[in-house]
Amino acid sequence: MSEFESKVVLVTGASSGIGAATAKGFSKHGALLSLTGRNEERLAQVADECKKLGAKDVLEVVGDVSKQDDMEKIIKETADKFGEMHVLVNNAGCSEWTLIENFELDKFDRCFNVNVRAVLYLTKLALPYLEKSKGCVVNVSSIASNMYCLPLNIIYTTSKAACDHLTKAAAFELAKNGIRVNAVNPGTVETDILLKVGISKEQNDEIFNQQANLHPLNERNVEVEEVVDAILFLASDKATMITGSCLKVDGGRGLTGQ
Ligand SMILES: NC(=O)c1ccc[n+]([C@@H]2O[C@H](COP(=O)([O-])OP(=O)(O)OC[C@H]3O[C@@H](n4cnc5c(N)ncnc54)[C@H](OP(=O)(O)O)[C@@H]3O)[C@@H](O)[C@H]2O)c1
């Protein structure tokens, strides 16, 4: 029997990419899942796949984590359904592209509300449940947090730097509650995240092709399952003495400074 069997795992941003794959990863271990995202149709598709893969039960909560009411609804509905929580995966995230000369406050707020504010507020809301279960939080940060400084990416990279620091500060504060807080910092993973910034499919593919070479190990981008394996590890009993870590899953890209 897996240690995640019948454990309650809340995954934000579960409607696509790394979050969807994480939900599927926990499903294979028989977890009870609370999945959230804004896209109802895609969330339902992921939930169906999770049930087929072995999830014991799946709750879908449609919500926008940049909104306080929605975050409170996500935690309340999870608690109402399952009564407990063991793992919170703060994966929902978005990118914003801008040069400083074109900087707009709205872009900053959109990105920071999801990548930073929601991570902290959801952790606070989950605290009573995680304290009771001696559970853990895994935040999905990025190697963009402190490894490279790309023009256009100033808002996103700064938000992920904040996510790393938040992870460490929360780990220190919540150690007394028996709650572990860690992050994974993936290199480039081929998801829809850049398409959502508004670039064309052609540009998107070109960027992914260029970025592949920036990962010295095997000169390829990171597979989504490789990130999921790291999340499962940090959430597992194999990591009982690990807290405040930001685990790079980047094929050595962080060593290159690009
Ligand atoms: N792809 C990469 O190369 C890469 C590398 C390092 C780190 N990351 C991080 O990995 C995480 C997942 O990204 P991804 O690559 O898997 O991208 P993705 O496919 O675009 O997934 C992002 C997820 O976040 C959700 N989300 C975004 N804004 C939201 C909001 N306001 N409220 C609720 N949910 C919201 C999306 O839900 P809806 O679509 O339903 O709104 C979606 O499920 C992010 O934190 C990202 O920064 C990605």
Q: Residue 135 is part of a domain; what is its CATH number?
A: 3.40.50.720
Closest C-alpha to 155, from 196, 116, 98: 98
Q: Determine contact, residues 219/157, Cβ cutoff 8 Å.
A: no
Question: What CA–CA distance (Å, rounded) separates 15 from 31?
Answer: 17
Domain assignment present for 114? yes
Question: Which of 18, 90, 167 gets mutated to test ligand 1 (max ligand atoms within 8 A of its CB)?
Answer: 18
Q: Tell me, in angstroms, the distance from the centre of ligand 1 to residue 178's CA.
A: 28
The reported pLDDT for the residue numbered 149 is 77
Please work out whether the CB of residue 68 comes within 6 Å of at least one atom of ligand 1: no
Domain assignment present for 3? no
- Judged on CB neighbours under 10 Å (0-12, 13-18, 19+), 80 is exposed
Average pLDDT over residues 170-188: 98
Question: Which of 12, 22, 36, 38 gets mutated to test ligand 1 (max ligand atoms within 8 A of its CB)?
Answer: 38
Please work out whether the CB of residue 251 comes within 6 Å of at least one atom of ligand 1: no
Domain assignment present for 217? yes
Tell me the DSSP string of 64-127.
-TTSHHHHHHHHHHHHHHHS--SEEEE-------B-GGG--HHHHHHHHIIIIIHHHHHHHHHH
Q: If pLDDT is split at 50, 70 and 90, which confidence band does 111 have?
A: very high
Each residue of 30-82: pLDDT tens digit?
A: 999 999 999 999 999 999 999 999 999 999 999 999 999 999 999 999 999 99
Q: Tell me, in angstroms, the distance from the centre of ligand 1 to residue 176's CA.
A: 31
Rg of the chain on CA atoms, in Å: 17
Please work out whether the CB of residue 191 comes within 6 Å of at least one atom of ligand 1: yes
Residue 203 has pLDDT above 90, yes or no: yes
Average pLDDT over residues 141-164: 91
Q: If pLDDT is split at 50, 70 and 90, which confidence band does 258 have?
A: confident
Domain assignment present for 216? yes
Residue 148 has pLDDT above 80, yes or no: no
Please work out whether the CB of residue 92 comes within 6 Å of at least one atom of ligand 1: yes
Residue 10 has pLDDT above 90, yes or no: yes
Domain assignment present for 108? yes
Residue 225 has pLDDT above 90, yes or no: yes
The reported pLDDT for the residue numbered 160 is 97
Average pLDDT over residues 151-159: 92
Please work out whether the CB of residue 153 comes within 6 Å of at least one atom of ligand 1: no
Amino acid at 159: S
When divided into structural domains, the chain yields a total of 1
Q: Percentage of the chain surpassing pLDDT 70?
A: 100
User: Helix (H, G, I), strand (E, B), or coil: what is residue 30?
Assistant: coil
Q: If pLDDT is split at 50, 70 and 90, which confidence band does 146 have?
A: confident
Q: Determine contact, residues 255/215, Cβ cutoff 8 Å.
A: no
The first and second tokens of residue 221, run together, are: 């981008």
* Average predicted confidence (pLDDT) for the chain: 96
Residue 9 has pLDDT above 90, yes or no: yes
Domain assignment present for 1? no
- Domain ranges, residue 182: 8-255
Domain assignment present for 2? no
The reported pLDDT for the residue numbered 248 is 97
Please work out whether the CB of residue 220 comes within 6 Å of at least one atom of ligand 1: no
Q: Tell me, in angstroms, the distance from the centre of ligand 1 to residue 240's CA.
A: 27
User: Helix (H, G, I), strand (E, B), or coil: what is residue 147?
Assistant: coil
Single out the catalytic residue among 121, 129, 148, 156.
Answer: 156
Domain assignment present for 12? yes
Q: How many CB atoms are located within 10 Å of the residue 235 CB?
A: 28
